[in-house]
Each structure stands twice: as C-alpha cells, then as structure tokens.
Amino acid sequence: MIHLSVSDVMTGTVRTTTPAETMAGVATRLREEGIGSLIVVDPTSDELTGIVTESDIVRLVAAGAAGATTVSEMMSSDVITIAPDASIHDAARLMREHSIRRLPVVEGGELVGMLTTTNLVHYLPRLRNTILRERTQA
Amino acid sequence: MIHLSVSDVMTGTVRTTTPAETMAGVATRLREEGIGSLIVVDPTSDELTGIVTESDIVRLVAAGAAGATTVSEMMSSDVITIAPDASIHDAARLMREHSIRRLPVVEGGELVGMLTTTNLVHYLPRLRNTILRERTQA
C-alpha cells in the first residue's frame, strides 16, 4: 500500500524570522520570496516560538498599526505542527479543525519542512492516480 | 460515474468590493469576514473587473504604501475564472499553472461562487472515498 505522507508533499525549505523583526520586514520577506508565512525562531534557544502570516499583516493594517510593530506582537505562539510521516488526509483534517492553512513539519524536535494548502492542492491532480494504484495493489 | 465538480466544493457566497475602496477598507473587510480576497466589481456595469487579495496588501506594506491606496491601484485585473461544472482536478491544475490560490466561479457571465485552496483541502479527506466509490461504480 502506498502511504501518502506529509513528507511527499511538503516544502523542505523552512523560512524563519525572529521575534524582534518588524511587520515591514516580514512583508518584504514574504513578497520577495513569494510565500505566505515565516516561522518564528528564538535566536538564543533556536526553538520554534511562533508563526507569522499574511493574515497577521492584514489584521494589523485593519487596526492601523505601524510598520515598526514587531513579530513578537503579531505572531501566533500556539503553533500547530505535524510529523513528516502523518498522512496528508490527517494534515487536511488538522487544517480544517483549526482553520489554518499552514503546518510546520517537525520531527524529533527539529523543523524539517512546511506544509501549506497550496502544497496539497498542487498534489491533487496526481492524488487520484495514486489512490487508484494503491487500490489495485491492495 | 461521480463527477467531482467545482460546484460541489466552492463557497456559494461571493464577497465583492469596488475599485474606489481603500487598502485599509479591504484589510478591515478581510479580517472581519475571515477571508483572503474580495472580487472587484464595477459599480456601474456590475462586471467583474479584478480581484484583491491578502498578498496585494502584503506587497503594499512592503512598499511602504499608505492605507488610502485604492483597490484600482492594487488589484489584479487579469482574473482567471473557472466554470462550476469544471472538475476539481482542472481547478487544481489552473491554480498551479498560474500560481494562484483563488478562482472566481463564473457561469454565463454571472459570478456564482469562489473556489480557494482552502475549499479544496477541506474536501480532501472525503476525496479518497469518492474516488474509490466512483471506481466501484465504473
């Protein structure tokens, strides 16, 4: 049986920032790298401490916040993560349950990738064939 | 054969704005309604003229633009749309090809819904069963 796992679909590169970065700095990084979020890592402990997304910037703009607002003031610190060997169906369920579009992928305490709704959708056209092949081999 | 179509998965409600709305106004609407984009409709002709998304706001913040920037200055006017009876696999391919996350759904010139990567991912856990059922009935 072919197991459709998070590691098959995730982006292996993880883009990080620090709690002291500014909203303007985050916006520049997101635009330049064509991504929707940055993982916030504590510069001393090197631990995952939050996630900052396009939606956080929209929220701040709506509130009339200045570009100098820091990541620590705008990030979500309760980060929902997933393991690389979890199934993509479990990942989709987790996203739905928590109304989120991005899951940092963590293995043994280490950040190893990022899974987004975009990753899952780009995989969708191949999914049908994979499921049917798996069924034939069962 | 069960056809997995855009109309099975899309959001039937379409949120619109006008070219004269401001960036700050768009940010407020997106935050209040918990969505990522607004369709831009011409107030006189009532025609679809663009789409404005979270990413457009991030781009403007990165460029140091003011909250008074108008939708007409920030929207994308080449809008890729899809028909409600198109398959979700074609929708996923179109999103991948154009690097977009949202497809306004248009039927006979009328805006009838919106399909996002989030809609597709929320459908993913049910997709496997639908594909296998379709196979059994083939």
Residue A8 backbone dihedrals phi, psi, to 5 degrees: -75, -20
- CA A31 to chain B, closest CA, distance in angstroms equals 6
Q: Whole-structure pTM over 0.80, yes or no? A: yes
Quickly tell me which residue has 């059922």 as its tokens.
Answer: B133
* Tens digits of residue pLDDT in A79-97: 999 999 999 999 999 999 9
**Which one is predicted more confidently, A128 or B49?**
B49
* One-letter identity of residue A87: S
- In this structure, are residues A20 and A125 in contact, taking their beta carbons and an 8 Å threshold? no
* Tens digits of residue pLDDT in B34-81: 999 999 999 999 899 999 999 999 999 999 888 789 999 999 999 999
- In this structure, are residues B51 and B39 in contact, taking their beta carbons and an 8 Å threshold? yes
CB pairs below 8 Å between A and B: how many?
A: 119
Residue B40 CB coordination number (10 Å): 25
* Tens digits of residue pLDDT in A11-51: 999 999 999 999 999 999 999 999 999 999 999 998 999 99
Q: How far apart are CA A67 and CA B135, in angstroms?
A: 53
Q: Which residues contact B87 (CB under 8 A, 6 or more apart)?
A: B3, B4, B5, B6
- Spell out the alpha helix ranges (H) of A66-116: 71-74, 88-98
Indicate if ipTM > 0.90.
no
Instruction: Show residues of chain B in contact with A58, CB under 8 Å.
Output: 27, 30-31, 54, 57-58
Q: Which residues contact A136 (CB under 8 A, 6 or more apart)?
A: none
pLDDT confidence bin for A124, thresholds 50/70/90: confident
Instruction: Show residues of chain B in contact with A28, CB under 8 Å.
Output: 62
pLDDT confidence bin for B4, thresholds 50/70/90: confident
Instruction: Show residues of chain B in contact with A69, CB under 8 Å.
Output: none
Give the orientation angle of helix A88-98 with respect to helix B117-137, to 10 degrees.
140
CB-based contact, B27 to chain A, within 8 Å: yes
- B107 closest CA partner among B29, B6, B18, B3: B6
- In this structure, are residues A111 and A35 in contact, taking their beta carbons and an 8 Å threshold? no
Contact A30 B101 (CB under 8 A): no
Helix (H), strand (E), coil (C) string for A18-70: CCCCEHHHHHHHHHHHCCCEEEEECCCCCCEEEEEEHHHHHHHHHCCCCCCCE
- CA B117 to chain A, closest CA, distance in angstroms equals 6
- Spell out the alpha helix ranges (H) of B19-116: 23-33, 54-62, 71-74, 88-98
pLDDT at A1: 40
pLDDT at A3: 62
pLDDT at B1 over 50: no
Residue B30 tokens read as 């997106």
CB-based contact, B20 to chain A, within 8 Å: no
CB-based contact, A92 to chain B, within 8 Å: yes
